[in-house]
Chains A and B, each alone.
Chain A
């Protein structure tokens, strides 16, 4: 049945080489991504409206994080900027970028829809409504350094997904289409609530608006201490379920034939992705485009194998969002969501044009 044009050993060697290339490429990209992550960490800390030299940045980080001996006296101001303002901000951007990219990969795979993003199941409007309600309530609550706005945004996002999942029939019969459509319907309903809240907010409108476009301006160590473990743990658990996402590539029926407990895995993956998304949204508001574009860009490079796509999306999503935040800071605190869209959309479009042959949505 096979074409006997090439000699048998030569063909074997060629096949082995192809497997090697396929396996080595993601590894090389992972190394590249980790390098980009380190680069964005340093650049993200050094630059801003008050620049700290790269040398000083490295020295301060080395001294405070790694316990290296301090070479020379540095201004206390530089140390405060690096340790109290920039580092938590950069780490928050990393956590959120990683979380959104991983959640986007999961939802695109789970719903088998290239247009899915972390917000597709009502998370965005749920979180936004929660945040808006928090701004309307004249009570100041703070738990673990988290304001009411973070808590309600987190709760709103989770509540919205839970509602969608229940209404779509839960684990029992809910087909993918019905989950997607329910997500759209619930999202629209919550968006109406958000509009009402914004209408009532009056003077607070700008604050809500700022939240809707996303920002890392209020990042702090306390918030990070709650948000980072949540994002990191959920992302790690998702990475361990790469096989389940792969099995779902050909649809749920084939996944069953491949030995996957589809109902259980779908519930677990959906819960983890929602947790990551809710934590990300609570930390930084609604930042679009990262969760949609990063997984696609990674897939263009390494194919749809979740075993490769998940870790690469995490790493590149993290560094992308740190750099986007840096760009947003330069003109003086633009909402970072604007930057991700302005940078992400043309980049994505150019990629689509280049790879049109093998990649149509």
Chain B
């Protein structure tokens, strides 16, 4: 499966009269791994909604592999773009395997249902995310973190060239945060998927993403390698941290995606999320 390229030209979005995104210009190549960071309300999630076709009244152009989003049908889009939902609630008792299988809906036969390949993709996705042992549990009995892995597995099963994640690690413990990040590295490195994720944890962003896009007040403030984007001064300015005594040492990896996570990194992860 090859990655999809994403181009945003002059993308803006307004909720009512409040403009939340201003003229976003962004070019993401196939197979690239990009992290969106920024303070709450910076427009990260709104930007994702523009890319997934959920935002109504979007201004500007979004191109998926050079084709305007409007010209792609919902179903065709679902085969090419998988979105990891944030909070989901299930109205009925549902096995983990059944939730993950929902990811195959855009691929299965409309009348006859899943094909053998769909079932295989579900099993493979559960193993890859490391929740195969939960397959027969009721998804509603799981912890928040486990549920987050379940919907991640659903998106992995869905496949497609572009994977979009909105804060995929909020409820995860440190080990699972790292494992999810490694999975994203693997998905982009081995499978060639394009990965776009919103993260609040700047340490994880710096460690596992080759490119970081910093947003503030609906505009792109900086875009590039973590070391260049996430400077202490810029972070202080964007996040409004005027206390210079706060430690903001982000341990940048020599090569992003190759984790060098030690106790110092764990401490930094704590301090950088105090925003």
Contact = CB atoms under 8 A, between A and B. Distances in A.
B88 A307 contact: no
A358 B91 contact: no
Contacts of A259: 74-79, 105-106
Contacts of A243: 105, 108, 110, 113
Given A249-B92, A258-B102, A359-B92, 15 more contacts: A1-B130, A22-B97, A108-B92, A112-B91, A113-B91, A114-B91, A243-B108, A250-B90, A259-B75, A259-B79, A300-B93, A303-B95, A303-B98, A304-B93, A307-B113
Given A19-B119, A250-B88, A307-B113, A299 B93 contact: yes
B274 interface: no
Contacts, number: 108
B94 interface: yes
Nearest to B112: A307
Nearest to A359: B93
A359 B83 CA distance: 28
Interface in B172-228: 179, 183
A3 interface: yes
Given A259-B75, A304-B92, A1 B179 contact: yes
B136 A247 contact: no
Contacts of B77: 259
A11 B95 CA distance: 18
Contacts of B76: 259
A240 B93 contact: no
A114 B89 CA distance: 13
Interface of B: 52-54, 74-79, 81-83, 85, 88-95, 97-99, 102-103, 105-106, 108, 110-111, 113, 119, 123, 127-130, 132-133, 135-136, 138, 141, 151, 158, 179, 183
A250 B113 contact: no
A246 to B, nearest CB: 6
A108 B91 contact: yes
A34 B220 CA distance: 62
Contact of A257 (B85, B89, B97, B129): B85
Interface string A15-44: 100110010000000000000000000000
A249 B90 contact: yes
Contacts of A85: none
A188 B84 CA distance: 40
* Residue of B77, B92, B98 with highest tally of chain A CB at under 10 A: B92
A304 B78 contact: no
Interface string A252-281: 011011111100000000000000000000
B94 A249 contact: yes
**Which among B81, B90, B91 has the greatest number of chain A C-beta atoms within 10 A?**
B91
B54 A1 contact: no
